[in-house]
Amino acid sequence: MKQTLFALSLCFAVWSPLRSADLSSFVILTWQGDTSTTITVNYHTVGSADQSRVYYDTESRDGTPGAYRFQTEGSSHQITGLDDRYIHVVELTKLVPGQTYYFITGDRENGFSEERKFRTLPRDGSPIRFVTGGDMGIGDLPNRLLRQAAAQEPNFAMIGGDIAYANGQLSNIGIWDTWLKAWSEYMVTPDGFTIPLALAIGNHEVRGKYDRTYREAPFYFGYFAQNGTGSFFRRQFGSDMVVYFLDSGHVTTHEDQVPWLDRNLRLDQEIPLRFAIYHVPLYPSHRDYTLRGAEAGRKHWGPLFDRYILAVAFENHDHTFKVTHPLFDNQIADSGTLYLGDGCWGRGPRSFNVEPRWYLKDYASVAHFWAVDVADGSARYRAIDDIGQTFYVLPEDSDGAVEAAEVFQTIPVNYAIDPRTVRVEPLLRDGEFLDRESIEVTVHNRAAVAADAVFRLEVQSPLTAEPDEHRFRLRPQEEKAITFELDTIEPITLAERPSGQVRYTIDYDLTDDRVRFEGQQPVVVESAQPVPIRSLPPVIDGNLDEWSDLPVVFEKPDQVTSTVKADPLAGTGDLSLKFGIERNEEFVFIAVRVKDDTLSLIDAPIAWNQDGVHIWINTYPRGDFDDDPLFALIPGATLKDGYFVRVETPPADLQSACLITDSGYDCEIAVPIAYLENEWRKAGGQGKPEHLRFNIAVNDKDGTDGPTVRLFWRPRWDEPGDYTWSGVFKLN
């Protein structure tokens, strides 16, 4: 069965969404070597071309191929799995530094591009300007920022990873096409110069994000000729600056770049300005300081940055604006490396912890890029937003810094509190009616500053709540439990899903400000459904004949998510799912029947991007909570061939099978109770767990190029420990 399935799936070709006429506008300039005497032209055709050629001259020839004095032949290649797309790479060499060149690409069969021009970098010490940022994506905001960046008339641009947000998936070729079109169109200066680009790799270039190989970043390596399949490299720009493009653990580890980086930094000591650019920050502004990639960067690269004194490390990934103090030896110092970031060149800005971080000098929630002027061996840095406002200038005594500081006062800082701050205990009840109940709320101030809190429980008649509100002050790190009494003036059944809202405000005392958070969390009373005990275990083969009943049916899911925003249910009308959960002494058995008339399967299973069932299961109220599912069941595969999402070494006796049927597919899985109990104990649970928390989603993708729609039985689990997002079964 499996062989047939995979053979069939190989027949799907990945589609090319744009016609060749559209592709001729994609012209990306990169460098594979010297930035003053070479340029590499990257362009695309649909279908092969008998040549990969650039015609060029130091004067405009209006696009007439025969009129250009020079031409260079390059080569073309394909990305494995993309049938139609040919990428042409032509490197022009022996160019004159600081010179303007006019060029066209193409051939008679596919047509020629419009004439463009570029200029090589000067190398005589004349000023250089570049723009940089990361985390771009596609859409209106990146487009506005690109236009503002081009308006700065930079000599070149650098992106610090997370470029198109295609995740290395071939089916996301359309995202790249949109990105390439926008870049080709907007990154042209007012004087008409196409702006060359140098790029570092980010997690969204790579299938699997971290610790992968170059093969899992097909677009990054296939579309931008820079350094072959090497993910880190050095480029010099003019006489005064050099940049190290580093890989923050995506296809090369931090550690593996150390000898190379050490050697080059040593050789480059005479160059006045040494910069690094990479994706994951050493000093994150939004994510945790203990983020794995941040720790690896501080451990392996930090000492080198200190020893050879970088001017600036351009950091990304966190989608904020940040400026650190000068840092040396992981401390604030009079002179040290400045870390500028944090990758917000198109993605929406993120929030900050209420508690300030010791290394951050300034920060804000604003989409932006940096424009950097290098002259006479020093640099001036300007942060610019999507309407072209310069809101931050370094050094503080340089031109425009005072005016920018005034603008900076108007730029918002969005704060967020730790999502674990407020916890409303769930009410799992076995009876039919709601009794008088105590609602317990735990408030844990996880910041290093004090806070004032006001909590209320709001309910609808016939429910009542007492007291009206709790007001209290929390010291730093203090945890406090409060209780509301929920009652009813007339009987209400659990089947009516009685509910209320805990609403709160928490005011944190910051040194120069008070920050208020308003929030709410639902109180849901739910009956925990029993897990029937079976005397005979089912054979885990995907045949569901041994199951008398699959009692939970969801034709109307609680939540639908889709890779396309519009009309998420399009194409899923054929889909329904039912499941059952039973147990014996050793296992929890789950059976799932999916009706789906068009199966979309791929030969190398990628759980997120094909048909299949995703299962979340853990013990409650403690357990291994994560917003990623524990397993993905792939039609036609056993668990070994399938996809165990989060567990590196699955328990040996865990079994699953998924059979393709006439109407869809049937899955069975046996989860060892010992495994669940172990997770329960690891999370601090005492004795035996009484409840299972469970969720299931089904992916429906019609055709390999269609969007993946995920239908969730209960809404996806975004908040660890949040009961209201769950389904609960009673184990004992």
Q: Provide, rounded to whole angstroms, the least separation between the CB of residue 280 and Fe ion.
A: 7
Q: Given the complex with Fe ion, which of 294 and 637 has the nearer CB atom? A: 294
Site residues for Fe ion, 203-222, by CB under 5 A, read 203
Q: Provide, rounded to whole angstroms, the least separation between the CB of residue 627 and Fe ion.
A: 17
Is 328 within 8 Å of 306 (Cβ atoms)? yes
Q: 261 — phi, psi (to 5°)? A: -65, -40
Peptide bond before residue 689 is cis, with ω within 30 degrees of 0: no
Most distant CA pair in the chain: distance in Å? 91
Q: Given the complex with Fe ion, which of 297 and 498 has the nearer CB atom? A: 297
Containing 241, the helix (H) or strand (E) segment is strand 241-245
Both tokens of 22, joined, read 């559209």
Q: Given the complex with Fe ion, which of 317 and 350 has the nearer CB atom? A: 317
Site residues for Fe ion, 142-201, by CB under 5 A, read 162
Is 356 within 8 Å of 146 (Cβ atoms)? no
Q: Provide, rounded to whole angstroms, the least separation between the CB of residue 430 and Fe ion.
A: 45
Q: Provide, rounded to whole angstroms, the least separation between the CB of residue 264 and Fe ion.
A: 25
Distance, CA of 566 to chain centre: 21
Rg (C-alpha) for the chain, rounded Å, is: 29
- Distance, in Å, from the CA atom of 476 to the CA atom of 451, rounded to the nearest integer, reads 8
Size of the site for Fe ion (CB under 5 A): 4
Tell me which residue of 118, 115, 120, 119 sits closest to 65, measured CA to CA: 115
Q: Provide, rounded to whole angstroms, the least separation between the CB of residue 363 and Fe ion.
A: 18
Q: Provide, rounded to whole angstroms, the least separation between the CB of residue 203 and Fe ion.
A: 5
Site residues for Fe ion, 290-319, by CB under 5 A, read 317
Q: Given the complex with Fe ion, which of 469 and 627 has the nearer CB atom? A: 627
Q: Provide, rounded to whole angstroms, the least separation between the CB of residue 624 and Fe ion.
A: 25
- Distance, in Å, from the CA atom of 233 to the CA atom of 540, rounded to the nearest integer, reads 51
342 part of the interface to Fe ion, by CB under 5 A: no
Q: Given the complex with Fe ion, which of 202 and 664 has the nearer CB atom? A: 202
- Distance, in Å, from the CA atom of 459 to the CA atom of 480, rounded to the nearest integer, reads 22
Tell me which residue of 422, 424, 449, 447 sits closest to 505, measured CA to CA: 422
Q: Provide, rounded to whole angstroms, the least separation between the CB of residue 318 and Fe ion.
A: 8
Q: Given the complex with Fe ion, which of 341 and 605 has the nearer CB atom? A: 341
Q: Given the complex with Fe ion, which of 118 and 221 has the nearer CB atom? A: 221
Q: Given the complex with Fe ion, which of 203 and 576 has the nearer CB atom? A: 203
Q: Given the complex with Fe ion, which of 134 and 542 has the nearer CB atom? A: 134
Q: Provide, rounded to whole angstroms, the least separation between the CB of residue 6 and Fe ion.
A: 32
The DSSP-derived string for 275-335 is EEE-SS-SS-SSS-TT-HHHHHHHHHTHHHHHHHT-SEEE--SS-SEEEEPPEETTEE-SS
Q: Given the complex with Fe ion, which of 138 and 265 has the nearer CB atom? A: 138
Q: 424 — phi, psi (to 5°)? A: -100, 120
Which residue lies nearest Fe ion, judged by its C-beta? 317
Q: Provide, rounded to whole angstroms, the least separation between the CB of residue 648 and Fe ion.
A: 23
Q: Provide, rounded to whole angstroms, the least separation between the CB of residue 164 and Fe ion.
A: 12
Both tokens of 271, joined, read 């160059």
Q: Provide, rounded to whole angstroms, the least separation between the CB of residue 161 and Fe ion.
A: 6
Q: Provide, rounded to whole angstroms, the least separation between the CB of residue 159 and Fe ion.
A: 12
Q: End-to-end CA distance of the chain, in Å?
A: 39
* Buried-exposed string 612-638: b where 16+ CB fall within 10 A, e elsewhere: bbbbbbbbbbbbbbeeebbbbbbbbbb
Q: Given the complex with Fe ion, which of 168 and 621 has the nearer CB atom? A: 168
Residue 7 CB partners (closer than 8 Å, separation 6+): none
Q: Given the complex with Fe ion, which of 248 and 726 has the nearer CB atom? A: 248
Containing 265, the helix (H) or strand (E) segment is helix 258-267
Q: Given the complex with Fe ion, which of 249 and 623 has the nearer CB atom? A: 249
Q: Provide, rounded to whole angstroms, the least separation between the CB of residue 301 and Fe ion.
A: 17
Residue 80 CB partners (closer than 8 Å, separation 6+): 218
- Distance, in Å, from the CA atom of 367 to the CA atom of 347, rounded to the nearest integer, reads 7
Could you list the beta-strand ranges (E) of 66-211.
70-73, 75-77, 85-92, 100-107, 111-112, 116-119, 128-133, 156-160, 197-200
Tell me which residue of 663, 718, 697 sits closest to 562, measured CA to CA: 697
CA atoms within 13 A on the CB side of 611: 31
Q: Given the complex with Fe ion, which of 154 and 293 has the nearer CB atom? A: 293
Strand arrangement, sheet containing 321-324: 233-237, 241-245, 273-277, 312-314, 338-341, 321-324, 360-364
Alpha helices in 419-524 (DSSP H): none
Per 3-state DSSP, the chain is made up of helix, strand and coil in percentages (nearest 5) of: 15, 40, 45
Q: Provide, rounded to whole angstroms, the least separation between the CB of residue 94 and Fe ion.
A: 38
- Distance, in Å, from the CA atom of 298 to the CA atom of 286, rounded to the nearest integer, reads 17
Q: Given the complex with Fe ion, which of 55 and 352 has the nearer CB atom? A: 352
Residues that bind Fe ion (CB under 5 A): 162, 202-203, 317
